[in-house]
Structure 1
Amino acid sequence: MKIFHGTIEIAGQMGILSSALKKKGYYSIGYNTFHSYLGYEDCLVNTDQPGIEEKFEEIIDTFDLFHFHYGSSLFTDLSDLPELKKRKKKMVMHHWGNDVRFHEQARIHNPYVYTGDSPPNEEIHEKLMKITPYIKDAIVQDYEVYDYVKDYYEKVHVLPIAIDLNFFQPSYPSLEKKRPVLLHAPTNREFKGTIHVEEAIEKLKKDYDFDYVIVEKMNHEEAINLYKDADIIIDQFLCGSYGLFSVEGMALGKPVLAYIRPDLAAKFPSNLPIVNSNPDTLYDNVKFLLDHPELRQELGIKGRKYVENVHSHEVVVEKLLDIYCQLEV
C-alpha cells in the first residue's frame, strides 16, 4: 500500500505518521504546501500548490490511499476528489481543529475559547459539504474536534497526536534545583492564551525566584533543546484540549499545565497527568508546582509513561492502520 499525506503539515504529523508507516513496511510520504519557521522536513516533499497540481497524474497513479489533512486536497477547490473517487482510491480527511471549529458551537462548553483562527461558519460548512460526498471517514485528534465534524461524516475516528520518542529523552525536574525554569512556547499567542500566562508570571515573580522562558518563531529542533531545561511546561488555556507542545513536554518528563474542558475530561485516559488549568486557576496551579518540587518530578515521570502508552508513533500507527483497513473505495 502506498500512502499519500497532504497537503498541509500540522505539528509535524504528516512526517511522523509517514515515518511510522515506513517502519511498518509501507510507502508513505507527505506533500506539504504550508511552510513555517518550524522547519519540518522528515518524510516530506516540501512543495507548493502549483507543484502538486503539476504532478497530479503522477501522484494519482502512484498512491493507493490519500490521507488528507486540514480540509485540503490536491486542488484548492477540492475538484480532484471526484476523480480520486472514480479511480477507486481510498480517502480519509484529518481535521485538526481550527479548520472546523465552528465559532458559536465552540463557546457552548467553553467560555474561554478563542476561534479567531477559524474561517467563518459558512465557509467551514461549505467546505465540509464539498468533501463529504466523496470522503466518508474523518480522523480527529481528540473529542474537542470530534463534535464539529461528527454530523458530516459517516464515521469519525479519534487518533491521538503522534510523537517519535527516539527524539525525546526524558530529563525529569530536579528536586534540588533552586531556580526552576518555567517555559511557554506559543505558536499563536491569542490561541494559546499567552496574555493569561504572562499575567500569572508577573504575579508569581513577586514571591518566587524562577526563570521564565518564552519560545517563539524558532526552528522545532532548536526549540526542543530549550524544552529540555524546563521544570514546568505551560501550554494552552483557551482551546479546551492539549496539543503537541503538551505531548512533547510530557515526553521530556516535564509537568504540563493546559486546559481540558470539564465535559471532555472523561474522554481522555483516566491517567492523563496534565495539571488542568484555565485562565482563572493558572496562577494557583503554577504556584502549587513551585511550592512542591517533588510533585513536579512525579508528574514528569507519569507524563513520560502516558506518552509512551498513548502518543508514541509506534502505538498510534497501529490504530491508524486499523482505520485504513476500514476505509471503503
Structure 2
Amino acid sequence: MLDKNIKIMHAPVEIAGQVGLISSQLRKYGYQSGAYNFFISYLNYKQTFNTDAFELMEIFENSFEHYDIYHLHNGYSFMDSYKDLELLKQAGKKIIMHHRGNDVRAPKLARKGANYENPYVNTEASHDAEKIHNSLQLFAEVADAAIVQDHELYEYVKDYYHARKKKVYILPRLIETDKYVPAYPAKTKKPLIVHAPTLPKFKGTEQIEETIEKLKTKFSFDYIRVEQMSHEEAVAVYQRADIVIDQILCGAYGNLSVEAMALGKPVVCYIRPDIKANLPQSLPIVSANPDTLYQELKGLLKNTDCFKELGMAGRKYVERYHEASVVMPFLLDIYKEVSS
C-alpha cells in the first residue's frame, strides 16, 4: 500500500470529470490530494478547485513544501514553457503525465500504425504533429512515468517513454457506479437516441446525424443532440435514452460510453479491431464506423427487445472494469512504484 504520508497534486485541467474524481477518491482512501483546474467550461464539474492561470501559478509556487507527487493531465503543466517541470525535478518531486487524447493523437499515427489502420479518425482538434513530438520527448525525459486511459493512446506515447526506460501505465476511466442508477430501456414504439458531441468533428457528429435522417424515413424514433449542458443536465438526458451514440471515428470508447453503460443503456461506438482484441470479451458496445453505422442502428431499431439485455451487460461491464473502487488500487500501485 502507498505510504499514507504521500501527498498528491492534480493539475492543471479537468478532463471529463476524471481529474476531480481521482482526487476525491484519493481523499476517501485517506490521502491528501488537491485537484486544480484553470479551464472553466459549461460542463461545470464540481470536484476540482477552479482557478485561473495566474492564481494557479501562485498555488504552484507555494506547493513545494506540501506535495510529493505531481499528477499532471492532458500534456499541460503550470507554465507554457514547461520550465516548472525542471523546478519540480530539482526539488525531488515525482512527476506523472496523464495523457488524455488530443495532446498525443498525432495525425499520421492515428491513421496507421504497425498493426492497425483507421481511415475515419479526425485529428483536427489535436495539437500539431511537431508540438506533439517535442512535448512527448520532453515529458519522457522529465516525467517519472506516463498514464493513458486505453490502448489507443498507448500506441502514441509508448516509444517515447520506453526509449528512456520509463513505464507507460494503462489506467481505465473511473466512475462511481452508485451515483448512476441504471434505467434499463423499456419496450417502446418510439425509442430515444442520444448523442453528445463535445467535439463534433472528432466524434463524427455530421455522419451520425446524416445516418439518423436516413433512418427516420423507415423507423419511428426521437433524437436528441446533447450540447451546451452541464454534466448534471446531460446525465439526466442520458437517463431517458434507449440508445446512446458515442464516437464513430476515433476507434476507442470515451467517457460518454462509460456513463451510458453505467446507466444501463445500449451504446454505439467505433472500436478499432486491434483495440477490441485487447479489451475484455464481455464488452457489449455495438461497434460502428461511418460505413457501418446505418446497418448497425437499423439492426437495433428492428430488434428493440435486445436493448435491455445490452444495457444490463453494459452495467456489469462498467462495474467490473471502470468502478472507482476497482480502478483506484491500480493507481495507488502506480504511485507506489513511482515513489520507490
TM over 0.5: yes
Q: Secondary structure at the match of 1:92?
A: strand
- Report deviation, 1:328: 4.3
Count of aligned pairs between the two proteins: 327
- Report deviation, 1:110: 0.5
1:128 to 128, 132, 136: 136
Q: Secondary structure at the match of 1:182?
A: strand
Give distance in 1, aligned partners of 2:111 and 2:332. Answer: 34
- Report deviation, 1:57: 2.8
- Report deviation, 1:56: 2.4
1:101 to 100, 105, 108: 105
Report the counterpart of residue 76 of structure 1 in structure 2: 80
Report the counterpart of residue 62 of structure 1 in structure 2: 66
Report the counterpart of residue 22 of structure 1 in structure 2: 27
- Report deviation, 1:86: 1.8
Q: Secondary structure at the match of 1:35?
A: coil
2:127 to 108, 119, 123: 119
- Report deviation, 1:129: 2.0
Report the counterpart of residue 256 of structure 2 in structure 1: 245
Give distance in 2, aligned partners of 1:269 and 1:86. Answer: 42
Which amino acid is 1:143 matched to?
Answer: H
- Report deviation, 1:74: 2.1
- Report deviation, 1:130: 2.1
Give distance in 2, aligned partners of 1:253 and 1:247. Answer: 10
Which amino acid is 2:160 matched to?
Answer: Y
Q: Does 1:262 align with 2:273?
A: yes
Report the counterpart of residue 147 of structure 1 in structure 2: 155
Asked whether the 8 Å contact 1:173–1:296 carries over to 2, the reply is: yes
- Report deviation, 1:131: 2.0
1:11 to 9, 13, 16: 16
Q: Secondary structure at the match of 1:3?
A: strand
Give distance in 1, aligned partners of 2:136 and 2:144. Answer: 11
Give distance in 2, aligned partners of 1:28 and 1:292. Answer: 47
Asked whether the 8 Å contact 2:10–2:72 carries over to 1, the reply is: yes
Asked whether the 8 Å contact 1:68–1:93 carries over to 2, the reply is: yes
Report the counterpart of residue 182 of structure 2 in structure 1: 170
Which amino acid is 1:172 matched to?
Answer: Y
Asked whether the 8 Å contact 1:78–1:131 carries over to 2, the reply is: no
Q: Does 1:52 align with 2:56?
A: yes
Q: Secondary structure at the match of 2:27?
A: helix
Give distance in 2, aligned partners of 1:101 and 1:59. Answer: 31
Q: Does 1:85 align with 2:89?
A: yes
Q: Secondary structure at the match of 1:156?
A: strand
Report the counterpart of residue 274 of structure 1 in structure 2: 285
Asked whether the 8 Å contact 1:257–1:276 carries over to 2, the reply is: yes
Give distance in 1, aligned partners of 2:59 and 2:192. Answer: 48
Unaligned runs of 5+ in 2: 1-5
Report the counterpart of residue 158 of structure 1 in structure 2: 170
- Report deviation, 1:72: 1.1
Unaligned runs of 5+ in 1: none
Q: Secondary structure at the match of 2:65?
A: helix
Describe the superposition over 1:277-301 as per-residue Cα deviations: whole angstroms up to 9, x where unpaired.
Answer: 1111111111111111221110000
2:231 to 210, 215, 220: 220
Give distance in 1, aligned partners of 2:16 and 2:189. Answer: 33
CA RMSD of aligned residues (A): 1.1
Superposition TM-score, scaled by structure 1 size: 0.97
Give distance in 2, aligned partners of 1:58 and 1:88. Answer: 15
Give distance in 2, aligned partners of 1:264 and 1:68. Answer: 25
- Report deviation, 1:270: 1.3
Describe the superposition over 1:246-265 as per-residue Cα deviations: whole angstroms up to 9, x where unpaired.
Answer: 00000000000000111211
Give distance in 2, aligned partners of 1:288 and 1:223. Answer: 26
Greater CA drift, 56-65 or 216-225: 56-65
Give distance in 1, aligned partners of 2:95 and 2:325. Answer: 22
Describe the superposition over 1:26-80 as per-residue Cα deviations: whole angstroms up to 9, x where unpaired.
Answer: 11121101111101121x1101111111222321221111100011112221111
Give distance in 1, aligned partners of 2:270 and 2:28. Answer: 34
Which amino acid is 1:137 matched to?
Answer: A
Give distance in 1, aligned partners of 2:252 and 2:59. Answer: 37
Superposition TM-score, scaled by structure 2 size: 0.94
Greater CA drift, 309-318 or 251-260: 309-318
Report the counterpart of residue 195 of structure 2 in structure 1: 184
Give distance in 1, aligned partners of 2:64 and 2:178. Answer: 33
